[in-house]
Amino acid sequence: MTRGAALFVAIAAVVFLVHAPYLALPYFWDELGQFVPAALDIYHDLAWVPHSTVPNAHPPGVMAYLALVWKIFGYSIPATRAAMLLLAGCAAFLAILLARQLSLNLRGWWVLAPALLLVLDPLFYMQAMMAQLDMPAALFTLLALFLFLTDRHKAAALASTALVLSKETGALLPLILGAALLIDPARRKFAAFYLAPFLALAVWFLVLWRATGHLFGDAGFTHYNLIYSLHPVRAALSLIRRFYYLFLADFRWVGTLAILAAWRRSAIYSTRAWKITGLFVAAHVVMVSLLGGAELERYLLPVIPLLYVAMAAALVTLRARWRNLGIAVAAAGLLAGLFVNPLFPFPYENNLAMVDFVQLHRAAAQLLERQHPDQTVYTAWPLTQALRDPVFGYVTKKLGAAETSDLRRSTLEAIDPKSVNVLVLYSRTWEPSWGVLRWAMVQRFLGRYYEYEPEMNSDEVRRHFGLIPVRRWTQHGQWIEIYAR
């Protein structure tokens, strides 16, 4: 076995080992709402445009990969998790290869530093095992960029094609790479190769348009991701959130300070490779700040490994004591971020709060299956989806579920109380008693620009529906509660 192969095996083994406790964890949110149903449609009847969930602009590449894995090994949640972890191991390995290509000053174990930080990163840790698109997009971003920088342009164009078939926003990278070749006389002849990803994406949108009548599959999806997010206040706040998450959160400020110091004192980022990489990072951050109504941090995954390469390259320019202290503090901060939640609302999938959410919902679903198997459960998605189909890992048989758009007071008060015998409320948003959502000013701001409204509470449930609490679970600040007659 070559040294490179041995290194990959070691990294993949570490990735699998640290995720071993969660291999059978039921699916979460968009996994059970979009990506697993779409993959099951391919698995069962080769339906490239999904019919068991709302079709949208996301290409079928990752879902086809999962369907292939299930064809070989059979469908199971552990098979899904393992398939995604294999891709995550490849991404961590490619972070090392790209670090060697971008930063010649990384020697010895320091060339492993970007992969170490990536594996410790709470967002990457969670997304590594999840059946979603952004971690595979990060993998193919790293692969395409590495092949481009080593002047293997046919292979880089193929990797870029795999990228856009994993997630449509990946088209930004081949656009930048092709443009970089066009202004480079010595390499201009290779620019045409980077048209291939756009042709592949055009074919997908044509298929989607013919199947749905919408170019991006669904009018609601298009409005939410292309129009809603462009409101000046939401766009500005999204850009601020991106900056905070990339450069400050989870002790990334340590690496940010190192980058600023290296930028002032050396020319390590002045190479052609770093200029192209930096342009992509900046463009990607702006793109995912302006597009994508949910403004999820996982959209940043394609640039996070590049940031860690830059941080490692900067740290090695410092004196030994400071570089060792810097990497230790940065690693400890990332590890802490896996367990410690912020003061403000955040997507549960950013750290182990996702596991808390899933475990709470599985406990509630199991009780509902035992005690209310024949009654319709009123609650909000994604719990409704989890109750309706055992394939998602929450129940062993289908339960009746009536879906409310949310759990806000105004939404639930519009429901006829006589029709509801079982109601489930849960913490859809992170709002602990010590969080900023308890501030009236923050509530007003979110209500104006993000349609925020507090959920119905126990007294209001009793008053409107005549239901009483049956069981309540809490875990690390999250909760779920069942009400019945």
pLDDT digits (tens, 9 = 90+) for 444-453: 888 888 888 8
Average pLDDT of the residues in 344-356: 96
Same domain, 336 and 298: yes
Same domain, 416 and 304: no
Q: Which of 311, 340, 369 is the last residue of a domain?
A: 340
Same domain, 127 and 196: yes
Structure tokens at 228: 């809603």
Average pLDDT of the residues in 335-344: 95
Same domain, 313 and 413: no
Query: What pLDDT, in 10s, does the model give residues 133-172?
Result: 999 999 999 999 999 999 999 999 999 999 999 999 999 9
Instruction: Quote the number of domains for the chain.
Output: 2
Same domain, 75 and 218: yes
Same domain, 201 and 329: yes
Q: Of 345, 343, 483, which Cα lies nearest the Cα of 426?
A: 483
Position 346 in a domain:
no
Same domain, 328 and 363: no
Structure tokens at 208: 């989607």
Same domain, 314 and 461: no
Position 363 in a domain:
yes
Angle (CA) 282-301-381 rounded to 5° is 120
Same domain, 296 and 412: no
**pLDDT greater than 90 at residue 259:** yes
Q: Which of 340, 375, 410 is the last residue of a domain?
A: 340
Same domain, 366 and 224: no
Question: CA-to-CA distance for 467 and 419, rounded, in angstroms?
Answer: 12
Distance of CA 223 to the CA centre of its chain: 20
Position 345 in a domain:
no
Q: Let me know if 333 is exposed, middle or buried by CB neighbors in 10 A (0-12, 13-18, 19+).
A: buried
Query: What pLDDT, in 10s, does the model give residues 196-251?
Result: 999 999 999 999 999 999 988 888 888 888 888 888 998 999 999 999 999 999 99
Position 347 in a domain:
no
Cβ–Cβ under 8 Å, residues 170 and 140 = yes
Same domain, 329 and 374: no
**pLDDT greater than 80 at residue 104:** no
Q: Which of 340, 371, 395 is the last residue of a domain?
A: 340
Position 480 in a domain:
yes
Q: What is the pTM of this model?
A: 0.94
Domain assignment of residue 364, given as a range:
352-484
Same domain, 129 and 278: yes
Ramachandran angles phi, psi of 424, nearest 5°: -125, 125
